[in-house]
Amino acid sequence: MSRRELDSTSVETLRDWDRSHLWHPFANQAEWDRDDPVVIDRGDGVYLYDRLGNRYLDGVSSLWCNVHGHRRSELDRAIVEQLGSIAHSTLLGITHPTAIALAKRLVELAPEGLTRVFFSDDGATAVEVALKMAFQYWRQLESPEPKRTKFLALSNAYHGDTLGAVGVGGVERFHATFGPLLFPTLRAPAPFCYRCPLSLEHPKCAIACLNEVERSLSEHDGEVAAVVVEPLVQGAAGMIVHPPGYLGGIASLCKKYNVLLIADEVAVGFGRTGTLFACEAEGVSPDFLCLAKGLTGGYLPLAATLTTERVRGAFVGDEINPKTFYHGHTYSGNPLAAAVALANLDLFGSDETLDKLPAKIDRLGAGLEGLARLDHVGDVRRRGLIAGIELVLDKETKTPFSASDRIGARVCLVARRLGVLLRPLGDVIVIMPPLSIDLEQIDELVAVVSDSIIEITRPLL
């Protein structure tokens, strides 16, 4: 079917086809079948337009991946120019210029010591690669340590939906069904200051949750292959913002116990937290850096797992024992995706994206201060241009709403009616706009979120 034919197809027909044939991710199937989905037809800057002509501010960057806005001419042009050469060629046994150039560029930008790039398709596969590399690494050292089979991750962690990534994940509502398929993982409590799992108070606690990480590493000394962490912000857990010093503390413990550190920056990389990579905030250079989402500016699926010469050295063998990493994807380093990724990184320079962030971060913070005073806003968590607004039944006791009330979902439906697209995490309203958003658009976004929360929660007073 041509684009012209699609353009002439009515929204009612498209919705019927959707209900009949599409299976949407993370969707309640019964709800989807009875609702009329928004059919997005085009984008422009930070706005999306549906088939009926309604405009929406893209408040979650099209699932946390759009960076410089929709329909950026520089990104469009990079794809078209690459199409003039080739759309796809494998990296198995041969190579191509765009993947080579992108790998070199990422190494130049990444924290010190990350010198090797393994391309895959999305965030989950980037983490999967790191897990498998870390596991195999210990078996292929000159003095192997085959007892290092365990991974340590945080409670409520989310690292993707492939089985390895789910194995180190900890979001019960996403992962519980697959428990029988998963390998056991060591757990440390998430540093969730609003609902501290240790019943302590920051900063008086002196980040006591790090003691739990050390206790686990000590009890399993010589058995842990790697610690896996989302630096600074745990996304799907409800935008849990880690206290300053936590990431650096994790890195220090990994060095103390000779454990590899996997930094999953799939959601928090590429400027989201205020620096190009979240690890920069605390001077951390992990053994693995997992990237996706913003890597191509939100244009095409591409992921990268960066690692060190130390790790790569364990995979260099000989004809008798090749030590090969037997893992790969058909579209690893796809030329179109690599080309738009290079253009995306160029825009960080030409648009002065990182230099302009402080003013935007301050504007969002100022807006959220007023929002935090609303009666049913229990906590506002923010790092950079990432924010999570936790809605509660009782502000004093932090009593949550019943899940059946679907408060977060209802707030997002009101926001949609008012022209902002959001997606909640339970009763946490997520704000993560494209980095290209301007100050007035930030005001628009915050105002709609505030009005939506008031409309849904005012009858509860």
Q: What domains can you pick out in the chain, each with its CATH number?
A: 38-68+352-460 (3.90.1150.10), 76-350 (3.40.640.10)
pLDDT at position 1 is 86
As a dihedral over the C-alpha atoms of residue 195, residue 201, residue 207, residue 213, rounded to 10 degrees, the angle is -40
pLDDT at position 459 is 85
The answer to whether 101 touches 268, Cβ cutoff 8 Å, is no
The answer to whether 27 touches 15, Cβ cutoff 8 Å, is no
pLDDT at position 461 is 65
**Sequence-ordered alpha helix ranges (H) in 220-352:** 246-256, 309-313, 335-350
Cα distance between residue 165 and residue 185, in whole Å: 11
Please provide the distance, in angstroms rounded to a whole number, between the alpha carbons at the two ends of the chain.
52
Question: Residues with Cβ < 8 Å from 14, sequence gap 6 or more?
Answer: 39, 51
Cα distance between residue 85 and residue 304, in whole Å: 23
Q: Which pairing describes strands 150-154 and 186-188: parallel, antiparallel, or unpaired?
A: parallel
User: In residues, how long is the chain?
Assistant: 461
Cα distance between residue 189 and residue 153, in whole Å: 9
- Please list the ranges in the chain whose pLDDT falls under 70: 461
The answer to whether 246 touches 207, Cβ cutoff 8 Å, is yes
The answer to whether 244 touches 354, Cβ cutoff 8 Å, is no
Cα distance between residue 328 and residue 222, in whole Å: 29
Q: Phi, psi at residue 277, to the nearest 5°?
A: -120, 140
Encode pLDDT of 18-62 as tens digits.
Answer: 999 999 999 888 888 888 899 999 999 999 999 999 999 999 999
Q: What is the CA radius of gyration of the chain?
A: 22
pLDDT at position 460 is 80
The answer to whether 278 touches 419, Cβ cutoff 8 Å, is no
